[in-house]
Amino acid sequence: MKTNFTYEDKEIANFHIPRWNELPNIDLYLDQLVCLLDQYLSNYIKNENEKEENIITKTMINNYVKHKIINPPVNKKYNKEHIAFIFVICILKQVYTINDIAELIHLAIDTVSPAKAYNHFCNELEKAIKLTFAGEEYPRRQLMTKEIYILRNVVQSFANKLYVKRVFLKKK
């Protein structure tokens, strides 16, 4: 089933999350990290706590460190790996608990580098959003690893929630 796009839907279908090589090459302070995440994601997701303007807060990031979801910053600065993990967390916390996200991240980086896992996540997420907003499904593949199958289902769950919120519930 194909759907007709509105301008807003096309914007969402063209969603882009920065790849590893597009992330800042310098380490960021917490305020800078919050601004970066907000810059890329605020048009697509919102903090569930309506009182907060940013999609993520300094307190949330500090809690992720405290609960060992991400490694502590070095000299109060966050590197590419931190930034990538927090992008994934911001997106997936829309549909999964933080403990589930931590498990999924560990599954993803168990066999490949964080850079490769993150780029694969970005590619699959963008594909899922584009297909969902176009009313199409993933092309069927006969051979798929368990990890790829899980990743596709994970990103599809976010894409589906985004679609329902934006198209049927008319919420940003």
High-pLDDT (> 70) share of the chain, %:
87
Assign 3-state DSSP to the chain and report helix, strand, coil percentages, each to 5: 60, 0, 40
Q: Which two tokens stand for residue 128?
A: 């899922």
- The answer to whether residue 106 scores a pLDDT higher than 50 is yes
Distance CA 158, CA 172 (A): 14
How far apart CA 154 and CA 162 sit, in angstroms, is 13
What per-residue confidence (pLDDT) applies to 3?
A: 56
What single letter denotes the amino acid at residue 157? S
Give the mean model confidence (pLDDT) for residues 33-44: 90
Alpha helices in 42-145 (DSSP H): 58-66, 80-92, 98-109, 114-134
Tokens (6 digits) for 71: 């490694």
Residue 94 sits at φ, ψ, to 5 deg, of -70, -25
pLDDT exceeds 90 at position 36 = yes
Question: 149 pLDDT exceeds 50?
Answer: yes
